[in-house]
Amino acid sequence: MVAWTAQDIPDQTGRTFVVTGANSGLGAETTRALAAAGARVVLACRDVAKGEKVAAELGDGVQVRRLDLADLDSVREFVDGLAASHEVVDVLINNAGVMAVPLRRTADGFEMQIGTNHLGHFALTALLLGRITDRVVTVSSAMHRIGRIDLDDLNWEHRRYDRWLAYGQSKLANLLFAYELQRRLTGRESPVRSLVVHPGYSSTNLQFRSETLYGKLMELSTPIIGQSPAMGALPSLYAATVPGVEPGGFYGPDSFFEMRGHPKRVQSSARSKDEDVASRLWTLSEKLCGVEMLSE
């Protein structure tokens, strides 16, 4: 198989993408590649000023809108803004995330990692799904393999907090959500597809925000070991643009234990395929976010 690159993205003229966390790292690289392929891209960013800097490089085909996934009011305002301008979205890329941060709470009281990485994107997808015509791409991580879903204490209110296990839980939640979304879309014979990806080990600023000695070590080693953000964005771009991707597929890098390389179909953990946990997490997420999405 010939290695797939951003130059292989089909012409995206006339198509609209929403990319969360598009102001830096993988999101910015994803946005640049989509814009280069002719797409119209909405940069959904908590930091609008940084988003504007990315947008300034790319011309008239992009726009920046504020979205703070750690605040459900902001999520609703973002979707209302798209609705008011009659935006139709071909592809939503749930890219934004935080990693291994100290115990903090979102505006709605959720643990910051599950709140941002999963619940914020769950609410966004639920509120936007009626405007999406093609697919939803959710960015997970190889770190989902250390994750466990605790449905009785999703927000770390009773357990002793562990930032890495909290991150793993949030990334496992991404996979459970993406797979369950596809099952429910299929059950309704919807043409919309749900895909999930992981970027391997990419050199971005995500790893540097854990505020620990380990984070400092990663800051030194990541530029050497990690692949570039442009390479890390390839699984997202592949899943978002290639016509023949399989509904419910999981894509990641093809080399060095999936840490680097070009996109290919990869496998996720057994826990990510637990349909009972996925269904129960879906119901809990609806309750916590105050939304309904393809409810049974």
Read off the pTM. 0.94
Residues of the chain with pLDDT > 70, as a percent, come to 92
Top pLDDT among 115 and 218 is at 115
Distance CA 200, CA 215 (A): 17
Report yes or no: 35 and 41 within 8 Å, Cβ to Cβ.
Answer: yes
Top pLDDT among 255 and 64 is at 64
Nearest to 162 by CA among 201, 116, 206, 114: 114
What is the structure's pLDDT at 207?
A: 47
What is the structure's pLDDT at 198?
A: 97
Query: Identity (one letter) of the amino acid at 284?
Result: L
| Residue 23: its H or E element | none
Report yes or no: 17 and 89 within 8 Å, Cβ to Cβ.
Answer: yes
Residues 180-205 pLDDT 10s: 999 999 999 999 999 999 999 976 55
Question: Among 59-63, 71-75, 142-146, 193-197, which is the least confidently predicted range?
Answer: 59-63
CATH number for the domain formed by residue range(s) 13-289 = 3.40.50.720
Place of tokens 């198989």: 1
Under the banding of pLDDT at 50, 70 and 90, the label for residue 259 is: confident
Q: Is 161 designated active site?
A: no
The average pLDDT across 251-275 equals 92
| Residue 183: its H or E element | helix 163-187
Query: Identity (one letter) of the amino acid at 100?
Result: A
The yes-or-no verdict on residue 267 having pLDDT over 60 is yes
Q: Write down the catalytic residue from 167, 179, 238, 251.
A: 167
Residues 2-39 pLDDT 10s: 799 999 999 999 999 999 999 999 999 999 999 999 99
Report yes or no: 146 and 176 within 8 Å, Cβ to Cβ.
Answer: no
Average per-residue pLDDT for the chain: 93
What is the structure's pLDDT at 208?
A: 47
218 CB-near residues (< 8 Å, 6+ apart):
207, 208, 210
